[in-house]
Amino acid sequence: MSSAATFRWKRQAISVLLFGISFGYVEAAVVTYLRPQFFAVREVQSLDLFPLLTIQQIKAAGLGFVRMTETEMVREAATLAMLGTVAAAAGSNFRQWLAFFLLGFGAWDIAFYSFLKALINWPHSLLTWDVLFLIPVPWTAPVLAPVIVALTMIATGLIISRQEPDGRGLKAVHWIGISAGALLILAAFMWDYRNIMAGGMPNPFHWGAFAFGEVLWLAAVLDALRTRGLALKR
């Protein structure tokens, strides 16, 4: 990669990282504002999220809370759209777009938890359970799991965005490994959604499926680095 291309990549990567960190604070601030309204409906002054309100409880709380729940789901979709838009501005093709999306998403997620800890001293630990997303069903896991995924996304985003401009991007087998790993991780996050939506406490997290997904993802990324290293030696 030429010096000009390297400078451009650094500028793009730093810009996406800064956006992700800044947006993480915005999201943490929004959650801080929403928590008191959540407490008022549950009539419990606690930072614990579970059990979640059931659909029946949300409807019983009145139209205002129903609309707030719907607004929260749209906000999550808007978050993904904003991260995707910034990635599109930074990347020149689909692979670079995906790389910068992973980079921004990972930075946003870690910043979100870091700022929540600073603002309201939550989560209590990395094993505290959290609701990650509500679309299309609730995703739940101990905070440690999304933090691991976020770090993996940042590393993957940096590697892909660095390799793509010089034509030495990931091969099909690498994309398959990353995709399979991501699907397993998503399955672990959404595995218990029926119980969660029914107002139950989280069942034990599927660390086995999660770990296998992480291994597949990381193995694909590491093999891509190895393949690149061999190619550069030729």
Q: What is the pLDDT of residues 152-178, one digit of tens each?
A: 999 999 988 887 655 456 788 999 999
Secondary structure, 3-state, the chain:
CCHHHHHHHHHHHHHHHHHHHHHHHHHHHHHHHHHHHHHHHHCCCCCCCCCCCCHHHHHHCCHHHHHHHHHHHHHHHHHHHHHHHHHHHHCCCHHHHHHHHHHHHHHHHHHHHHHHHHHHCCCCCCCCEEEEECCCCCEEEECHHHHHHHHHHHHHHHHHHHHHHHCCCCCHHHHHHHHHHHHHHHHHHHCCHHHHHCCCCCCCCCHHHHHHHHHHHHHHHHHHHHHHHHHHHC
Q: What is the mean pLDDT of residues 41-56?
A: 61
- pLDDT value, residue 111: 98
- pLDDT value, residue 35: 74
- Sketch the domain layout of the chain as residue ranges: 3-233
- Give 24 or 49, the one with higher predicted confidence: 24
- pLDDT value, residue 48: 67
pTM of the complete model:
0.89
Query: What percentage of the chain exceeds 90 in pLDDT?
Result: 60
Average pLDDT, the chain: 86
